[in-house]
Amino acid sequence: MDETIRGSGKGAEAFAKLGLSATDSTGALKSQEQMFEETVIALQNMEDGTEKARLATELFGKQGSELMPLLNGAAGSVEEMKKQAHELGLVLSDEAIDAGVVFTGQTDQVKRMLGSVATQVGVGLMPIISKFLDWVMQYMPEILITRCVL
């Protein structure tokens, strides 16, 4: 759901292929339980095959393959699938999802800040490196002669 909220990543692509959105008609974020039910129903409506298995794995991880009998309709209702998903640890609380969104935002900001620091250090070092390269070019003949003599 985090990838869907950001609009990028395999999760967002998988939800898009299933015609699902992480927000309701008012723009509010759907609960994980609601998204799970919609995802299961969308997967059940797909024909059995590799695309269905691939989407289930992208959305549910390796547990997606364990859910395939349920997604293929062999094991019963959505309620049974919800129960199994909880047992497999696939369902996170809304608080956990919110914390994940905040964490992702924080890590993205730190990456941008570190990139800026690296750029500033690079800009500061450019004159020093430039002087060194000028020196190397100026004394290259002497460096080569000394190297050849040794």
> For 23, which DSSP code?
B
Please state the domain extents for the chain: 2-92, 93-150
Cα–Cα distance, 44 to 39 (Å, whole number): 8
Tell me the average pLDDT of the chain: 80
Residue 37 makes CB contacts below 8 A (sequence gap 6+) with 78, 82
Quick check: pTM over 0.75? no
Question: pLDDT of 44-79, one tens digit each?
Answer: 888 878 888 888 888 888 888 777 777 776 445 666
pLDDT at 89: 74
Question: pLDDT of 8-49, one tens digit each?
Answer: 777 778 888 888 888 888 888 888 778 888 888 888 888 878
Cα–Cα distance, 78 to 72 (Å, whole number): 11
Give residue 133's Cα distance to chain centre.
42
Tell me if 18 sits within 8 A of 37, measured CB to CB: no
Cα–Cα distance, 126 to 84 (Å, whole number): 59
Question: pLDDT of 77-118, one tens digit each?
Answer: 666 767 777 777 777 667 777 777 788 888 889 999 999 999
